């Protein structure tokens, strides 16, 4: 895992409770479609979020964060993002990524806002 400082370049409301957040990392990074990152709140508090951007989009990281007054966990992250110009992330995490050389049947189950489209676009870009 790598900890990166990221500049918050935009925050847009997609719906009443989902925000599109675009981050520009200070240095190069890599991940696979299906992995996630952790937003570093402090030394002992890191919060997981799926990436809506694809691994080919190396200039930025896009997050779709579902946050409302009913979800204080995510709202605390959004408050940080809205107040700070730079946030820390820990990337990549997770083993739920598509393996090109796998010949077994694939079952995808996802909840949240970013996993399916990211994996779909990644596979589509590879000619699948």
Task: Say how many domains are in the chain.
Answer: 1
With respect to residue 128, please indicate whether it lies within any of the assigned structural domains: no
Q: Does 125 fall in a domain?
A: no
pLDDT at site 1: 76
The string of pLDDT tens digits covering residues 68-88 is 888 999 999 999 999 999 999
The pLDDT tens digits of the residues spanning 4-14 come to 999 999 999 99
Rounded-to-integer distance, Cα 60 and Cα 117, Å: 17
Domain span including residue 110: 2-120
Residue 127 belongs to a domain: no
Residue 89 lies in a domain: yes
**The model's pTM:** 0.79
Average pLDDT over residues 96-106: 81
Q: What is the pLDDT of residues 28-58, one digit of tens each?
A: 999 998 899 999 999 999 999 999 999 999 9
């Amino acid at each position: 895992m790598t900890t990166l400082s990221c500049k918050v370049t935009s925050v847009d409301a997609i719906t009443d409770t989902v925000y599109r957040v675009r981050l520009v990392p200070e240095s190069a990074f890599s991940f696979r479609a299906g992995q996630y990152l952790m937003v570093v709140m402090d030394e002992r508090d890191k919060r997981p979020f799926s990436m809506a951007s694809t691994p080919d989009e190396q200039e930025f990281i896009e997050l779709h964060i579902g946050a409302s007054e009913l979800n204080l966990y995510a709202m605390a992250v959004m408050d940080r993002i809205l107040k700070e110009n730079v946030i820390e992330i820990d990337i990549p995490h997770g083993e739920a990524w598509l393996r090109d050389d796998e010949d077994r049947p694939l079952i995808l189950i996802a909840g949240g806002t970013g996993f399916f489209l990211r994996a779909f676009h990644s596979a589509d870009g590879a000619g699948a």
